[in-house]
Amino acid sequence: SWKWILTPVIIYIFERILRFYRSQQKVVITKDESCTHPKFWNCRCTSIASAWKWDMGDWTENLIRAFEQQNSPVPRIKVNGPFGTVSEDVFQYEVAVLVRAGIGVTPFASILKSIWYKFQNADHNLKTQTIYFYWIYRETGAFAWFSDLLVSLEQEMEELGKVGFLNYRLFLTGWDCNFAGHAALSFDKATDILTGLKQKTSFGRPMWDNEFSTIATAHPKSAVGVFLCGPQTLAKSLRKCCHQYSSLDARKVQFYFNNENF
């Protein structure tokens, strides 16, 4: 058993030594004396809500050319990172369940775009076949900008005959009886009165036992990755459901919980 302990201990000691060595390195701060007045540039690059395959223009190449044209030497800069999040593991599962509570939906917006680009380009390395997306939000205004993305995804999936690729449920928790009554009267319309989507908005919170039971029945032999960006109370509920609805047989459905903060 000592062989199993020795390797991680050696790795840990090496990492501590490397961290101590880095902490002892000197950082040289260079001041530009030719800058007589403060100048600030605010350069907004590709948004975090945009997948990396979404070409936003050639401003990065022009920026590189501008620096290369300068003859003055530039300081050497070391960048430690970038560091990814657990959401990157979405691509490793056949079935992905994305749950977001609140307004910080931008990480999942990027994931949806990236997966869809891979799907359109027939990426054979993409394991994900089905996505379940749940968004629990309190105010209708939080959904305004995100609805355009889902509308475009709906249209593209219908054109390609892949309607079942993305299954999403929207839950509105901040509502009153008058508002819910008006929505009920308009339920027979083709699109939702709040979002303009074909999937109607639900009022209240999800019944996770029903949701997990449905997913487990639909995918009896799949590895299901559950990804949450939300409060800890919701994390406890989802973690419990993942354990409860995972089969004891490793060859059948298994739920894997992943949590991140945004």
CATH number at residue 237: 3.40.50.80
Is 192 inside any structural domain?
A: yes
**CB-based contact 147:196 (threshold 8 Å):** yes
Is 33 inside any structural domain?
A: no
Is 0.85 surpassed by the pTM of this model?
Answer: no
Is 21 inside any structural domain?
A: no
Per the structure block, which two tokens stand in for 253?
């459905």
Is 18 inside any structural domain?
A: no
The pLDDT of residue 250: 85
- Direct distance between the N- and C-terminal alpha carbons of the chain, in angstroms, rounded to an integer: 40
**CB-based contact 131:98 (threshold 8 Å):** yes
Is 225 inside any structural domain?
A: yes
The pLDDT of residue 209: 94
Per-residue confidence in pLDDT tens, the chain, 262 aa: 677 788 888 999 999 999 888 888 887 777 666 655 555 555 555 545 555 454 555 666 776 777 777 766 666 666 666 666 777 788 889 899 999 887 666 677 777 778 777 767 777 777 888 889 998 877 766 666 677 777 777 777 777 777 788 888 888 877 666 666 666 666 667 666 666 677 777 778 899 999 999 999 999 999 999 999 888 899 999 999 999 999 999 889 999 999 876 5
Q: How far is residue 19's CA from residue 66's CA, in Å, rounded to a whole number?
A: 35
CA atoms within 13 A on the CB side of 217: 6
Alpha-carbon distances of 163 from 91, 120, 154, 155, 166, rounded to whole Å = 19, 13, 7, 9, 7
The pLDDT of residue 244: 95
The structural domain count of the chain equals 1
Q: How far is residue 17's CA from residue 10's CA, in Å, rounded to a whole number?
A: 11
Is 122 inside any structural domain?
A: yes
Q: Which domain holds residue 131?
A: 86-260
The pLDDT of residue 238: 95
